[in-house]
Amino acid sequence: MRVSRRRFLGASSAAAASGAALLTSTPMAYAVPPAILSPRQGGPPTPPAIEMIALNRMGFGPRPGDLERVQALGFENYVQEQLSPIDSQDTLLNQRLASAKLRIEYGPWESRISEDLPFSYLDAPLETLWPLANYQIEPEGAKRNRPLDEVIAATWLRAVYSTWQLRELLVDFWHNHFNVYAYTNQAVTTTWPLYDKIMRRNCLGNFRDLLREVAKSIAMQYYLNNASNTSGAPNENYARELFELHTLGSLHYFNTLYGDWEKVPGASEGKPIGYVDDDVYEASRALTGWTIEDGSRHGGITLPNTGRFRFNEPAHDRFQKRVLATNFDNDQKAEDDGERVLKLVSEHPGTAKYLCLKLCRGAQTPA
């Protein structure tokens, strides 16, 4: 029997009811989906209908009645509908999110009794989430981790119940593409709803906008250490992943072939076909001073403790740089060096090829 990811998620949600993280909204009952391949007598299998392919590869699989609805709507109309999601029309999901309760388990050393609570942090602003990371303000670990727990639970509900399946699939894709360990530190865990919203807000939009928001996010700044990247103590972790994983990809890494950036084909015209280690080093210099206001000492000053992104000019390497055969003059204003790096990598033809390859590979895997 073929089981779609969406049916599996629905069954898993039901099974989770006995676990520590209890979702008390009632799971949807799923019928066994019809076989999508019908062998012909003495011949190859009959190809599935295009609508069934769409439901499996543009989402987490069909629910009962979905195939008939898409067939009535028409494939092209369904695609256009999925490309323009309207939250207010996601009636079933909105009901599930509003009625869901998630178990919060307090440790024996904590003062509260474990209980089932509704979601309260999915749409919370930074000003609400940031103080929770402070042990002195919120001493109970279960409460500090609650925002992440809610995002995990809501992600399952959205995958099962949302009408806008393409958006949910792309949110999952971009979370994997811009991978961050959610338990990097308490600030990342507590503010995870904000990182999830970056994916949701931009998953169908402009890649450069998405890249910029990710670069400045609390999650990515801490996970890849750019928050501590200063002219006095440079850190290339984020810059390397920016090239290797987020934009051009390892297929366009040519350091083993061309140790000198000038030897990379196209470099003499200012359009290198790929990148070398020097580009990573120079990009890390361009991104010095990009940090998070967390009350720490940074670049010789003490930052405020707000959780907001900050360009800390005293920590920035202000001298001339060269990235992808493009010269950066010294003493650029504010965060222009870093913004220029993001523009160069997001607009490089290698980035489009790399992203399209990943998206097409993902689309080849049916739900």
**Per-residue three-class SS string for 194-231:** HHHHHHHHHCCCCHHHHHHHHHCCHHHHHHCCHHHCCC
3-class DSSP state of 280: helix
State whether 160 and 32 are in the same domain.
yes
State whether 168 and 234 are in the same domain.
no
In a domain, 367, yes or no: no
Number of domains in the chain: 2
State whether 99 and 169 are in the same domain.
yes
Domain boundary among 138, 173, 202: 202
Beta-sheet strands, E only, within 36-105: 38-39, 45-46, 101-104
Residue type, 164: W
Q: CA-CA-CA-CA torsion for 48, 176, 122, 206, nearest 10 degrees? A: -80
CA distances (Å), origin 70, targets 50, 77, 147: 10, 9, 35
Query: Do 274 and 344 contact (CB within 8 A), yes or no?
Result: no
State whether 194 and 47 are in the same domain.
yes
User: Can you read off the two tokens belonging to residue 13?
Assistant: 């949600």
Query: Do 221 and 296 contact (CB within 8 A), yes or no?
Result: no
Query: Do 203 and 167 contact (CB within 8 A), yes or no?
Result: yes
State whether 270 and 154 are in the same domain.
no
Find the domain containing 96 and state its range: 5-202
In a domain, 58, yes or no: yes
State whether 179 and 241 are in the same domain.
no
In a domain, 214, yes or no: no
Domain boundary among 202, 233, 253: 202
State whether 13 and 118 are in the same domain.
yes
Query: Do 311 and 336 contact (CB within 8 A), yes or no?
Result: no
DSSP 345: H
Residue type, 341: V
Q: How do strand 326-328 and strand 321-323 relate by DSSP bridges?
A: antiparallel
State whether 49 and 142 are in the same domain.
yes
Which of 222, 216, 352 has its CA nearest to residue 287? 216
State whether 231 and 171 are in the same domain.
no
User: Can you read off the two tokens belonging to residue 195?
Assistant: 């990182």
Enter the pTM of the model: 0.87
State whether 155 and 228 are in the same domain.
no
In a domain, 213, yes or no: no
Beta-bridge partner residues of 118: 101
| Phi and psi at residue 44, to the nearest 5° | -70, 165
User: Can you read off the two tokens belonging to residue 283?
Assistant: 């990009």
Domain boundary among 168, 202, 236: 202
In a domain, 41, yes or no: yes
In a domain, 229, yes or no: yes
State whether 47 and 178 are in the same domain.
yes
- Residue 243 neighbours by CB distance under 10 Å: 27
3-class DSSP state of 101: strand
pLDDT per residue as tens, the chain (367 positions) = 444 445 544 444 444 433 334 344 444 444 444 444 455 566 788 888 999 999 999 999 999 999 999 999 999 999 999 999 999 999 999 999 999 999 988 877 666 788 899 999 999 999 999 999 998 887 788 889 999 999 999 999 999 999 999 999 999 999 999 999 999 999 999 999 999 999 999 999 999 999 999 999 999 999 999 999 999 999 999 999 999 999 999 999 999 999 889 999 999 999 999 999 999 999 999 999 999 999 999 989 999 999 999 999 999 999 999 999 999 999 988 899 999 999 999 999 999 999 999 999 887 765 4
Query: Do 160 and 6 contact (CB within 8 A), yes or no?
Result: yes
